[in-house]
Structure 1
Amino acid sequence: MRGRFTLHLLLILLFANYGDSIAAVAGPSPRLLHRAEKNLTRVIVYDIFSPPAASRIYLYANVAAYETLAMQDKSYRTMQGQIPGFPDMKGLKSEKKVNYELAAVYAFFKTGGKLVFSEHLLIDSIRVILNDFREKDTLVYNNSLRLGQAVADSILTWSAKDNYAKTRTKRRYTYSKQKGKWTPTPPGFIDAVEPYWSQIRPVSLDSAGQFKPVPPPGYSTDTASVFMKEVREVYHVTQKLSKEEVLIASFWDCNPFYLNTQGHLNFATKKLSPGGHWISIAGQAAESKGKNWQETAAIYVLTSMALFDGFISCWDEKYRSQFIRPETVINAYIDEKWRPMLQTPPFPEYTSGHSVISAAAAVVLTYLLGEDFSFNDHTETDYGLPVRTFRSFNDAAAEAGISRLYGGIHYRSSITNGQHQGELVGRHLLSKIKVK
């Protein structure tokens, strides 16, 4: 109820001085858009979407909001003509009186709502806002909602062609029996997550394999091999973690599949996805600089695109190399009782997903907000963790990467090569997609 009351109050502040004598009025700040992002994140966490699937939801919801606001400000470019197959929405713009901010938030909710399982939770959030605004100006209210719905319908039609539905019908993933290949890990031994994600249509990439990284070190149980040296590094690093390293690993855990086991009782702890963490960072950064509606929407949409393409690129490599996780090797050849600090995610090791998408997001945010952008990250306070301060987005991305070594779930080469992979994805995105 507290969240709904906050949304209700925000709407009153946003539209208290709104009249029907002008075609469009900008709100004093995009706080309502930030609130919409947080509400969508809560539903994504509640529904336990995989990291790649969560990035898809963020993408389409943010594109809907951005495209609506771009209709109001001609200095911002539509994605039509920049992304192959993107719908032409010029005909959706109405000459009637419209509040584009309201329309954008409505388009965001209506798009995101159709992509999550618990749509009713989003409907409950937006209903309070819309019912209140209806009493203040019915004409503008109806015009704005019609525009928002039309944009959402167009984006959802476009999203339906990205092969997501086809990947839901694919045959169950078959594990390789070759040595060095990934197999499910304790405690849940969960089946492979999104093994066909490379078939999802990207935004800017020519193909999922466009930035294929170098192969992982050759699997070998020889103690002198490069691979076993990396395995031992994971083992030794996790044996003597400092308090700061434990905090870093926990702060960037972002594992929506975390499974608690107590005797015969198993239950999940719902956590933020890696993409959700970077969406939060994008919002905090935009808000700290007082960015307006259009600027904020541009920050969110480019960040979501970097995350989306980053996951496609990373998952393409994960199920190509199908590389074995440290936990499996260490238990077999070094210490059968060893467990990583973080719970091993249910998909192949190489490359590190957090490293890829963090680097990609950092490239975009650095381009939009600056190289030396110092910020405080409050994302994990909801999960009982303290605020962390970073000198730059690249600083945050580097810490996100090394957290996977501290957590015992990735080898160093997976992190390093994943970061390079993500940087290439981010730079390519900026070369292909322009918001202004």
Structure 2
Amino acid sequence: MPFPGFNSDTLDNSLVNPAAYADESIHDAYTRLRREDPVHWTEPTGFRPFWSITRHADIVAISKANDRFINRERTYISPIEAEEWVKQTTGDSHLFRTLVDLDDPIHMKLRRITHTWFMPQNLKKLEPQIAAIAKAHVDRMAALGGQCDFVNEVALWYPLRVIMMILGLPAADENRMLQMTQEIFGPQDPDVVARSRIITQGLSGATEGTGNPQVDIFALVQQFFQYFGEVLADRRASPRDDLATVIAQGTVDGEPIGLLEAISYYAIAVTAGHDTTSSTASGGLLALIQNPAELAKLKADPSLIPGAVEEMIRWATPVKHFMRTCTEDTVVGGKTIRKGDGVALFYWSGNRDEAVFEEPFRFRVDRPNNPQTAFGNGVHQCLGLHLARMEIRALFAELLPRLDEIELAGEPKLSVANFVSGLKAMPIRYRMR
């Protein structure tokens, strides 16, 4: 193991180091912590200290104890300098007030606005449209002549177009939306930022960047508010049959939701369903390429696709962590977490927990027991989990029967990010029908 001891700067700094997620060396730290110090007091350089929670059972227990572990104070691991900038800029600890940033009762009141819309019985009506979008992207893959970067030419665009469809947004705005989702919530990797700038180059209103990440993020946030402020006003004046209208027409305690809450709702709808689904689709395909016996098994028996999708979600775990703040002294794993202490729930570690998953570092499309925790647990469990599963199932149901051969055509690369991360490049060669 590369980490000599739990009091070393090396271990604590690795848990927040975006590069450790890009080369997957973070699993060395996770594995050792699960075995020897699963509730670990962590003091990384430049960050406020917190408890690292690495075991599946502890992650689930804390997630369900939403009265004793709240979201509002601290949502994700961020350097002290960045936290102070947000407070100075907004007067708050967050740029938005999304569902993941809030606690009950306001969290549940806002969540109820779209809860029914995201249920399987309502989403079923979208299956033909999602299947058509999946087919269009597999058709594009086939038209690329047997070689492409699956991330940047297929996986990145597929969930974005689903989101644009369910929100009722024009296709002409896709590039602008891509920049917002990639840069506001994923600015740690310069390659990801550069890619979005290339895509949006020359677009009216697109930001070109100043070289100062904080200034650039704030400019994008302002653009986000302007764009969705117009969407909000339009749907309140002229309701349509789309998710943007459901949000715009939402009420809390009999009153229309406020501007900040509405814009934040649009923010979480756009961002939470984009990178996460894209990363799962590309990470899942990479796992199949690297495990040809599993790919053959899945192609031979398409009934395994739902379970394979669950394994792809466990394997990729696009959201690597969320933070909570303790409201009263609580014992977890034999350690006393004090009131006011922050805790980081490391989902990728929980999804490799040897106590829960047999051979956790093996990718299995027919894994019989898979209580993956990538969507979270408790009242903050991902609102769009049924939609995400539907999208990934639709993509692989279309792709697998048409895929005769596939292999890597270069080195796949993971994004440099410790919050939401996944593949940023995956060159492949293939033969399709």
TM-score range, shorter chain: under 0.3
TM-score by length of 1: 0.25
Computing the radius of gyration from Cα coordinates, the structure with the larger value is 1
Q: Which has the higher contact order (CA 8 A, sep 6+)?
A: 2
TM-score by length of 2: 0.25
